[in-house]
A = this chain, B = another copy of it.
Amino acid sequence: MANILLRSVLFKGVKRDILIQGNKFAKIGEGISADDYPNAEVVDCENFAIVPAFYNGHCHAAMTLLRGYADDMPLMKWLQEYIWPFEAKMQPRDIEIGTRLAILEMIKSGTVFFSDMYWHREQTIKVVEEMGIRATIGVTIAENIDTPERIEENFRFLSGGHGSERVKIAPMPHAIYTVGEKLFRRCAETARSEGMILHTHLSETQTEVADCLKTYGCTPVELLDRWGVLGCNFVGAHCVHLSDNDMALMAKSGSTAILNLCSNLKLGSGIPQITKMMESGIRLGLGTDGASSNNNLDMHEEMKLASLLAKADGRAEALTADEAVGMATANVAQAYGFNAGVIAEGYLADALLVDLKNERLVPNHNFISNWVYAADSSSVDSVICNGRFVMRGRHIDGEEEIMLEAEKCAKRLAGKS
């Protein structure tokens, strides 16, 4: 793998040279000589700042084909009349096309990792490998949909040694209302024995919590605690409605909560108690959810929204720009077991080159404040993942074809062609 020397890039407020060797940051300093690294491509970064690339903690990538298919309606109408009938028609080839569109959008907005809970994982893995980014791909399990044979096949897949340098596999039981105790426990045991993450939807709506209290006499988080699922390898998506005890249980067990603020607002699920969750000690990361309920995969929007919503209770000093960056990068990387999300020697070389000549980054009193509160995706010039450029000068090879194919596929699935 070729080496890269980023020359004179703005890094934490000062100009630095950054050497990438293989897939890692090897050296950060002043006056690193290109002569000492004759194999390195020297990139002039005089007009760029470097920031950690985004890690998207919860997504359903192929649902990008459903972007804008149904909006502004109650949850059950949305699911039953629009989303489920559309999804029922999706074949493996459609998943591939939808995931390719999703990853195109992710790269364009600076994301190099996503956690994916969906169907036809083989196609998703293939596209991630092909497009050069990272992912944790779920083996999704839902007892209301899967046959017993399918479930056994899922566990065989989990123990089959799949995954690669950039792709990890994980059991993803859908939620406590679609997966029972026995199967959840089996997922948790498999995850631990295989050294995997376990990811599930958790306490997304008030209805979910109320139903759980009625059925089990405890909250969803308490239920997972009782079932032995919480722990350092546990990542729960949403966590909109947590009690004080829920927060304590998640924090104590080393669990992670992934907030999907835009999706939760758009579907009318509510706003999590962000500052209280931070104070509880839970590791907090951010995700976009699927594009059918967001309706994009833009982690920058989530990052700004997290900081804004944390301040909604009246404290402008809540969730600073630096903390918001951490939630959108390092916290998610750590939760999913990647030595990444931080630009420092020895870490995986994932990063964004941000265009300092973008009008939103002027004046540059404080770059991180500008990055979080003023920028949007238009300032992401180049994206590096695993020591390689996956976008340069906002161009990605084949992007027109990806969009054309996705448009055709989505029209067909919607019954319009």
Residues of A within 8 A of B (CB): 65-69, 71-75, 78, 101, 104-105, 108, 206, 262, 265-271, 291, 294-296, 298, 301, 304-305, 307-309, 311-321, 357, 359-360, 362-367, 369-370, 373-378, 399-400, 402-403, 406-407, 409-411, 414
Q: Across the interface, do B74 and A317 meet the contact criterion of CB distance under 8 Å?
A: yes
Residue in B67, B311, B359, B399 whose CB lies within 8 Å of A101: B359
Contact (A265, B312) CB under 8 Å given A357-B400, A378-B376: yes
Nearest to A357 among chain B residues (CB) is B403
Q: Across the interface, do B407 and A316 meet the contact criterion of CB distance under 8 Å?
A: no
Q: Across the interface, do A316 and B78 meet the contact criterion of CB distance under 8 Å?
A: yes
Q: Across the interface, do A267 and B377 meet the contact criterion of CB distance under 8 Å?
A: no
A71 to B298, CA, bound (A): 23
Residues of B within 8 A of A265 (CB): 308-309, 311-312
Main secondary structure of the interface of A (DSSP, over half): helix
Q: Across the interface, do A104 and B359 meet the contact criterion of CB distance under 8 Å?
A: yes
A246 to B285, CA, bound (A): 40
Residues of B within 8 A of A376 (CB): 296, 298, 301, 376-378
A335 to B167, CA, bound (A): 53
Nearest to A309 among chain B residues (CB) is B265
Residues of B within 8 A of A68 (CB): 363-367, 369-370, 373-374
Q: Across the interface, do B296 and A373 meet the contact criterion of CB distance under 8 Å?
A: yes
Q: Across the interface, do B370 and A67 meet the contact criterion of CB distance under 8 Å?
A: yes
A318 to B414, CA, bound (A): 25
Residue in B362, B367, B411 whose CB lies within 8 Å of A406: B362
A364 to B403, CA, bound (A): 10
Q: Across the interface, do B363 and A316 meet the contact criterion of CB distance under 8 Å?
A: no
Please name the 8 residue pairs, one residue from A and one from B, whose CB atoms are nearest each other, closest first: A363-B410, A295-B373, A68-B369, A265-B308, A268-B316, A295-B374, A68-B366, A378-B378
Tell me the minimal C-beta distance from A264 to chain B in angstroms. Answer: 9
Copies of the protein in its oligomer? 2
A187 to B246, CA, bound (A): 55
Residues of B within 8 A of A101 (CB): 359, 362-363
Residues of B within 8 A of A295 (CB): 369-370, 373-374
A410 to B364, CA, bound (A): 8
Residues of B within 8 A of A315 (CB): 74, 268
A84 to B362, CA, bound (A): 20
Tell me the minimal C-beta distance from A408 to chain B in angstroms. Answer: 9
Residue in B67, B104, B268, B319 whose CB lies within 8 Å of A314: B268
Residues of B within 8 A of A304 (CB): 301
Contact sample, A vs B, 13 pairs, CB 8 Å cutoff: A67-B365, A67-B370, A68-B363, A68-B367, A71-B373, A74-B315, A75-B316, A268-B313, A357-B403, A363-B410, A365-B410, A376-B376, A376-B378
A365 to B69, CA, bound (A): 5
Most buried by B among A377, A400, A414: A377
